């Protein structure tokens, strides 16, 4: 690793780079929001609100920067329990937009599940760092898996499938970073792949063969290996039950993702308008404030979920390339910091945070071009939104804090 120029940078240089890249993303987001706002300087505009949220987030960032590594480590369980309790409060309040995701404070709403993401990362990192000597044991995954499924279950009942997926995202990268056996990780992901493959007989058959070959390669105990193999086959056969228990809007999103022509003016409208906006931008884009899909408001939720489509239409492939390069450097810098840290807990937290942000970037980008169903997941530091932006700044502050020790 020492031969890598970026790894050779000292932690201070990496922290400065991270802050500069964050500033670049914030500026890009504000430019896009200014463009789509009818009256950007009015109090109700997405641009004005985002400016307020940025100032608030910077204030919280400064507060979090005062917290030491020891304090974060020693109080991780308390932080986790506190935020879990906060996530239950919306269930006791009237629904906001037909869900139990938000707490309405009058002047703004907060989404507690956004803070559950990093709280879960911290508590799992503490558990793994406190049990380093047991990391090769299969039992090491039990507590992290239970905690993750518990948190995902809370969010699914709000309901919020997209955030539940994001909450699960850091688990495997953190376990791999901790040194958990590869076969154990394989066992964790097989049920998910089995359920997805079960939608097609050919895919399911191919996956069954792949599983069999993997079991042969890893050579587990004959009885336990057979039980696990046939348990996965049985899981695949249960996929119709899983499908039938999805909410109707979730089924509709998946069906229209697979075939947008099924409902071009309904569930597929978002994807069609997004792809149209991206395609019409061409290489250099139509210019600032000149996008027809965005300025005429054909593109829905363009201030958050589909802000990448706004950038693509007005600034073209070149604009999108700049955004993706900044995100690449941002994620790379996070990993560079994680590799440089000698503290086990700190590096695990940063790997978890990297997984969260990378998942948001990937899912949001894939969603805007129709490669994934619409999930309602914003783009880090670019999309409008108070709770998510605040969460991103808290995670950024944690990274800076942990790399400073």
Distance, in Å, from the CA atom of 174 to the CA atom of 171, rounded to the nearest integer, reads 5
CA distance 341 to 403: 7
pTM above 0.75, yes or no: yes
**Is residue 285 helix, strand or coil?**
coil
Which tokens go with 2?
A: 């020492």
pLDDT surpassing 60 at residue 262:
no
Quote the pLDDT of residue 28.
94
Arithmetic mean of pLDDT, 215-237:
67
For range 219-237, the mean pLDDT:
66
Would the pLDDT of 220 be above 80? no
Is 374:260 a contact under the CB 8 Å cutoff? no
Is 50 exceeded by the pLDDT of residue 3? Answer: no
**Spatial distance between the Cα atoms of 72 and 300, rounded to a whole number of angstroms:** 39
Q: How far is CA 375 from CA 244, 340, 358, 379, in A?
A: 19, 34, 15, 12
Q: What's the pLDDT score for residue 100?
A: 77
Q: What value does the mean pLDDT take over residues 17-21?
A: 94
Strand partners, 109: 104
Q: Higher-confidence residue: 174 or 292? A: 174
The ranges assigned to domains in the chain are 5-403
Q: Is 219 helix (H, G, I), strand (E, B) or coil?
A: coil
Average pLDDT value for the chain: 82
N residues, the chain: 405
HSE (side-chain half, CA atoms, 13 Å) at 117: 32
188 burial class (0-12, 13-18, 19+ CB within 10 angstroms)?
A: middle
157 burial class (0-12, 13-18, 19+ CB within 10 angstroms)? Answer: middle
Take residue 327 and report the two structure tokens written for it: 């995100």
Greater confidence (81 vs 263) lies with: 81
Sign of the CA dihedral running 312, 55, 359, 155: negative
């Amino acid at each position: 690793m020492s031969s890598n120029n970026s790894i050779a940078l000292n932690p201070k240089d990496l922290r400065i780079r991270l802050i500069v890249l964050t500033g670049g993303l914030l500026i890009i987001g504000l430019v896009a929001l200014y463009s789509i706002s009818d009256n950007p300087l009015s109090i109700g505009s997405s641009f004005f609100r985002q400016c307020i949220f940025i100032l608030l987030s910077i204030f919280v960032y400064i507060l979090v920067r005062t917290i030491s590594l020891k304090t974060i480590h020693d109080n991780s369980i308390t932080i986790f329990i506190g935020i879990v309790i906060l996530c239950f409060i919306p269930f006791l309040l009237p629904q906001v937009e037909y869900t139990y995701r938000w707490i309405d404070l009058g002047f703004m709403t907060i989404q507690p599940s956004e803070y559950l993401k990093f709280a879960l990362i911290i508590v799992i990192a503490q558990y793994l760092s406190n049990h380093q000597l047991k990391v090769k044991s299969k039992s090491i995954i039990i507590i992290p898996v239970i905690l993750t499924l518990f948190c995902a279950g809370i969010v699914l009942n709000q309901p919020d499938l997209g955030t539940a997926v994001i909450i699960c995202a850091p688990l495997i990268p953190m376990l791999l970073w901790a040194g958990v056996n590869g076969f154990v990780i394989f066992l964790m992901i097989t049920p998910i792949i089995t359920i997805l493959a079960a939608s097609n007989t050919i895919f399911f058959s191919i996956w069954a063969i792949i599983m069999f070959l993997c079991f042969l390669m890893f050579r587990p105990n004959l009885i336990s290996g057979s039980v696990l193999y046939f348990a996965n086959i049985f899981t695949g056969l249960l996929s119709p039950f899983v499908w039938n228990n999805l909410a109707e809007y979730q089924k509709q999103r998946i069906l229209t993702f697979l075939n947008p022509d099924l409902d071009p003016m309904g569930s597929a409208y978002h994807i069609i308008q997004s792809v149209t906006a991206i395609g019409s931008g061409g290489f250099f884009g139509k210019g600032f404030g000149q996008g027809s899909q965005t300025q005429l408001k054909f593109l829905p939720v363009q201030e958050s979920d589909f802000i990448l489509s706004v950038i693509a239409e007005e600034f073209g492939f070149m604009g999108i390339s700049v955004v993706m390069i900044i995100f690449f450097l941002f994620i790379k810098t996070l990993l560079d910091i994680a590799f440089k840290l000698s503290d086990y807990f700190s590096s695990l937290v940063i790997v978890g945070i990297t997984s969260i942000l990378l998942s948001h970037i990937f899912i949001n980008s894939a969603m805007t071009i129709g490669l994934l169903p619409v999930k309602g997941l914003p783009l880090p530091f670019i999309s409008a939104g108070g709770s998510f932006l605040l969460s991103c700044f808290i995670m950024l502050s944690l990274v800076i804090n942990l790399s400073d020790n």
